Structure 1
Amino acid sequence: MAENDEIETARRALGRRLAQLRMAAGHTQHSLARLIQYGRSSVANTETGHQYPDRAFWSRCDAVLHTGGLLVGEYDRVAELRWRRRSSLKQEPNGTHLPAVVFQATAPVPDSDGGSALWEREEAIAARRLVLKSSTDDDARLAYLEHEVCQAITDNERLIPAVLMARMRPLRAYVDELMAGRQHPPQRARLYVAAAHLSGLLGALALDLGAFAVAHAYAAEAFDLADAAQRPDVQAWARATQSLVAFYAGEYHDALAFAQDGLRRAGNSPHRLRLTINGQARALARLGDRYGVDSAVDRAFTLVAEQPSDAQVSESLTFGPYCHARTAANAATAYLAIGHKTEVTDYLAVAIAAFDKAGLAGPQALSRLDLATAQLHAGEPEQAAALAMEALALTADQRYESVHQRARRFLATAQPFAHQPRLRQLAELLAERAQIGTTGRSVLPSPS
């Protein structure tokens, strides 16, 4: 077999090997392409031998498919075959074999273009140096991206969701531009982490705006990016966001599954608290598991007690642990869902005081709606209606799907008190704000 045929055969074998490993890992060409940030056609053409990408492509495939460098090793073997072939051609002009050369301790003979057969051109070395030096520009871009994402996490719940979404969309396009470039491995890992956080934030904002399909897509993308970065702590953070989206989509089994998978990945990271109380406890409550809720709430408050005391309210998508106020608010939501009233009012008193001080309209409204539900159970419909009206007033200029869902649940609980004027007013206000139909029908039925 001619040597060039041997190289072509080796290349095609490498493509077939990629296809086998991809299918064994359960990936389609499309899903693998998305994870390695190449086009699907590149994966397809490589597997069929019609395209032979560079070493970076094979390195990313190894990372995603967890092959231990098998593909890069094969690529390097083919590259060595090719180098040997080119070297032999240089020594065989016009097909005539040159006599063996005995190398002596003298200066090498220059080749025809003035270079040396023993070393590279200095221009090639200088070009590599320029690539290394360009890393300072990449650092500046990554620092900017990381700062913008962190600032947006802080601004979440403080700015109207639609406004923050509009601010973040161009940043997502900027991430795509950076991913199309070439960075050193540590910088590439930073880029994937920042992109994961950005997609998770966009997923939460889409959820606030009631766009469930988009929210699911962004949250799943956040996890895929974290997985590609091989960062278990970021994977855990992304799973918490996926659990949040699934919970408000009414997919409680998925919400629980994402939370539990996140806990397996979280290790000792601060994300354990959010996954436990915001993910596990609330999903278990919707599934009617009273014992599971008790256990999750106990673990959450144990984690709160272990962390340094901080009076500040943590961000809802925090990279650190949940604060005491958010833990208490989520515990109250879980216990209300299973009809367990003990300590709910105390939890909510702590949460409302903290959220009011921080001026966070969404959490203020959600906690008031939970307290209003507790008052309904206590037979105090007028006070409950007043609190619920206050909650809707706090979010009058904002769109929070979570607030709308909580208000609708409150009204469902208020059915026995449908004759109360304040409750009917609340139902009409919610119907108008949520744009339910065109008839302006009340959520509550007319009293008989």
Structure 2
Amino acid sequence: MTGPDDVGEAWRALGRQLADLRKAAGYTQHSLAPKTISARSTIANAETGRQRPDRSFWERCDAVLRTGGVLATGYDRVIALQRSYQRSRSATAFTASIASARVDAARPARGPRAGVMDAITSVDGAAADDTTIVTAMIEGRPRRVQLSRRALLAAMSGSLMPPLAGVDATGSEETVRVDPALIEHFAVLRSVLVESDNRVGAAAILPTARQQLGHIAGFRRVARGGLHDAFLRTEARWAEFAGWLSDDLGDRAAGDWWLAQALTMAQEASDAEFTAYVFARMAQRAAEATDRDRVLGLARAADRSGAAGPPVRAFAALQRAHGQAIAGDTSAFQAAVDDAHNLVTDATTDGGGLGSFCTVPYVWAQEGDGWRRLGRPRAAVTCFDRALDAWPESYRRERGLYLARTAAAYAAAGEPEHAATTALAALERAHLTQSARTRREVAAVSSHLMTMYPTEPGVADLHAALATSPKMR
């Protein structure tokens, strides 16, 4: 069976291979670093296995060292080994916890674990074909859990709702006993819903998120001491998630409200890192409204939190970049983007930490947005293409959104056929994920193309597809 020592040795072996190839090509760590868009410390730590950069780092090393993809292939093998270990460990631990819960579930509902088994429907073995791995942040630590597809379907249908455990017939709060294990349950469930959102879109997920927020608030009101604060931190994360879902459905008023709730709860719980993250999210939304002063002010508020990790700081740096792009300051924009690239390249990925979505491909996509604002559409297309090539196929909604933005960049560059073809691909993704935001951006591209290039065949096809496609709320 694969163990942690095997995984560690695999990373070290990959690092030694990098060192050998670097030396054979005549590079020092210092000379290789800028050519791979990384720091010298990243090269040094990767070579010893202390740092585990993502696949794009190894691809860049392959390109510079002309290895024919040896390092990226090695990275894939290490990741496969690591996932095998994580799968077996998580399945064993989580199945044990479910078995314990089943014993408790057989007792009268007065017990502190009552309702937990109603919330998590099933967990299959590590070798099952119908399972998926989700990563949940539980009190600041990533946990990978293997869940059945049935659990994902239950999440989408809104059936994963634990009752308030321990309440007597009169509903008196004095008799309530709150199970601390529910913190982990809600973290895992949120990860399941995030996974479902990537696949089916916000419309199917938001009702469940709202229901779960009601349950979390109920537990928070009756919990005491440190457990109360843990529920408050959990509620803040769910509120931010509800805001994200609302934004994607085009309901900015609801998005505003949920994000304000998340900020208040994070500050009340003294959760400095999540407070910084919410400020960065607010800056992101201000950038969409092209409010430069608000963008930069909120990004500075996020930066002031010394507790934020590299991904959150990179996310905040990207908002600074957007603020500078709105102002038309190209050099300040590029400096902020460089900060974000350095932060995500040097970060040790944990696969589920706060801001873990802020990867190298994500930074490329955001850089593309900035170049589009600055009137450099061809530079934007280059960045969007790099991001789309590197993003996992499972990121359906993000892929649709950035296809729409690539189409807008093509249109601005005077390439109507490319713009129309790319916009049609984006529209298909919008339908798959029920993303009102993506459809709205496709519609804007279509309107621009119909004004500027009404006789182009591809433009007419796009306009017709939009006219016959159902609108999303």
What is the TM-score when the length of structure 1 is the normalising length?
0.60
Q: 207, 211, 220: which is aligned to 1:170?
A: 211
Map of 1:238 onto structure 2: 278
Q: Quickly say closer, same or farther: Cα 1:259–1:428, change in 2 above 3 A.
A: farther
Query: Is the Cα contact below 8 Å between 1:281 and 1:334 reproduced in 2?
Result: yes
Q: Deviations over 1:267-307 (max 9, x none)?
A: 44131111222x23234323433233212111111112212
Q: Quickly say closer, same or farther: Cα 1:377–1:134, change in 2 above 3 A.
A: closer
Query: Is the Cα contact below 8 Å between 2:321 and 2:332 reproduced in 1?
Result: yes
Q: 327, 342, 359: which is aligned to 1:302?
A: 342
Q: What secondary structure, in the 3-state scheme, does the structure 1 residue paired with 2:304 have? A: helix
Residue 252 of structure 1, CA deviation: 4.9
Map of 2:298 onto structure 1: 258
Residue 210 of structure 1, CA deviation: 0.9
CA separation in 1, counterparts of 2:190 and 2:223? 21
CA RMSD in angstroms, aligned pairs only: 3.0
Q: Deviations over 1:30-70 (max 9, x none)?
A: xxxxxxxxxxxxxxxxxxxxxxxxxxxxxxxxxxxxxxxxx
Residue 341 of structure 1, CA deviation: 4.3
Q: 425, 430, 455: which is aligned to 1:395?
A: 430
Q: What secondary structure, in the 3-state scheme, does the structure 2 residue paired with 1:210 have? A: coil
Map of 1:189 onto structure 2: 229
- The answer to whether residue 312 in structure 2 is matched with residue 271 in structure 1 is yes
Query: Is the Cα contact below 8 Å between 2:200 and 2:432 reproduced in 1?
Result: no
Map of 1:338 onto structure 2: 374
Query: Is the Cα contact below 8 Å between 2:404 and 2:426 reproduced in 1?
Result: yes
May I ask how many residue pairs the two structures share in their alignment?
Answer: 298
- The answer to whether residue 182 in structure 2 is matched with residue 147 in structure 1 is no
- The answer to whether residue 461 in structure 2 is matched with residue 421 in structure 1 is no
CA separation in 2, counterparts of 1:385 and 1:272? 36
Q: Quickly say closer, same or farther: Cα 1:334–1:171, change in 2 above 3 A.
A: same
Residue 138 of structure 1, CA deviation: 2.9
Q: Quickly say closer, same or farther: Cα 1:152–1:392, change in 2 above 3 A.
A: same
CA separation in 2, counterparts of 1:331 and 1:405? 21
- The answer to whether residue 262 in structure 2 is matched with residue 222 in structure 1 is yes
Q: Quickly say closer, same or farther: Cα 1:238–1:266, change in 2 above 3 A.
A: farther
CA separation in 1, counterparts of 2:397 and 2:349? 24
CA separation in 2, counterparts of 1:214 and 1:177? 21
Matching residue's letter, 1:150: S
CA separation in 1, counterparts of 2:470 and 2:263? 31
Residue 405 of structure 1, CA deviation: 4.0
Q: Quickly say closer, same or farther: Cα 1:256–1:431, change in 2 above 3 A.
A: farther
Q: Quickly say closer, same or farther: Cα 1:434–1:232, change in 2 above 3 A.
A: farther
Residue 157 of structure 1, CA deviation: 2.5
CA separation in 1, counterparts of 2:354 and 2:320? 17
- The answer to whether residue 384 in structure 2 is matched with residue 384 in structure 1 is no
Q: Quickly say closer, same or farther: Cα 1:233–1:422, change in 2 above 3 A.
A: same
- The answer to whether residue 445 in structure 2 is matched with residue 410 in structure 1 is yes
CA separation in 2, counterparts of 1:256 and 1:432? 41
Map of 1:285 onto structure 2: 325
Map of 1:42 onto structure 2: none
CA separation in 2, counterparts of 1:153 and 1:258? 25
CA separation in 2, counterparts of 1:160 and 1:342? 30
Q: Quickly say closer, same or farther: Cα 1:251–1:205, change in 2 above 3 A.
A: farther
Mean Cα displacement is larger for which, 165-174 or 358-367? Answer: 358-367
Mean Cα displacement is larger for which, 216-225 or 416-425? Answer: 416-425
Q: 380, 392, 398: which is aligned to 1:363?
A: 398
Q: Quickly say closer, same or farther: Cα 1:289–1:405, change in 2 above 3 A.
A: farther
Map of 1:348 onto structure 2: 384
Query: Is the Cα contact below 8 Å between 1:207 and 1:245 reproduced in 2?
Result: no
Residue 353 of structure 1, CA deviation: 1.6
Query: Is the Cα contact below 8 Å between 1:206 and 1:212 reproduced in 2?
Result: yes
Q: Deviations over 1:371-393 (max 9, x none)?
A: 32333344321122111111101
Matching residue's letter, 2:437: S
Map of 1:55 onto structure 2: none
Map of 2:92 onto structure 1: none
CA separation in 1, counterparts of 2:317 and 2:408? 23
- The answer to whether residue 359 in structure 2 is matched with residue 323 in structure 1 is yes
Query: Is the Cα contact below 8 Å between 2:397 and 2:430 reproduced in 1?
Result: yes
Query: Is the Cα contact below 8 Å between 1:273 and 1:321 reproduced in 2?
Result: no
Q: 228, 238, 242: which is aligned to 1:202?
A: 242
Mean Cα displacement is larger for which, 252-261 or 389-398? Answer: 252-261
* Identity, % of aligned positions: 19
- The answer to whether residue 195 in structure 2 is matched with residue 160 in structure 1 is no
Query: Is the Cα contact below 8 Å between 1:368 and 1:387 reproduced in 2?
Result: yes
Unaligned residue ranges in structure 2 (runs of 5+): 1-172
Q: What secondary structure, in the 3-state scheme, does the structure 1 residue paired with 2:180 have? A: helix
Q: Quickly say closer, same or farther: Cα 1:418–1:288, change in 2 above 3 A.
A: farther
Q: Deviations over 1:152-210 (max 9, x none)?
A: 334433232011112211101102211220322x2122111111100000000001111
Query: Is the Cα contact below 8 Å between 2:407 and 2:419 reproduced in 1?
Result: yes
Query: Is the Cα contact below 8 Å between 1:212 and 1:249 reproduced in 2?
Result: no
Matching residue's letter, 1:284: Q
CA separation in 1, counterparts of 2:422 and 2:231? 44
Mean Cα displacement is larger for which, 242-251 or 219-228? Answer: 242-251
The one of the two structures with greater contact order (alpha-carbon pairs below 8 A, sep at least 6) is 2
Q: Deviations over 1:117-154 (max 9, x none)?
A: xxxxxxxxxxxxxx9x987x431222222222233334
Query: Is the Cα contact below 8 Å between 1:404 and 1:434 reproduced in 2?
Result: no
CA separation in 1, counterparts of 2:294 and 2:403? 27
Q: Quickly say closer, same or farther: Cα 1:198–1:293, change in 2 above 3 A.
A: same
Q: What secondary structure, in the 3-state scheme, does the structure 2 residue paired with 1:265 have? A: coil
Query: Is the Cα contact below 8 Å between 2:430 and 2:439 reproduced in 1?
Result: no
List aligned pairs for 1:44-193, cutoff 5 A: 137-184=178-225, 186-193=226-233
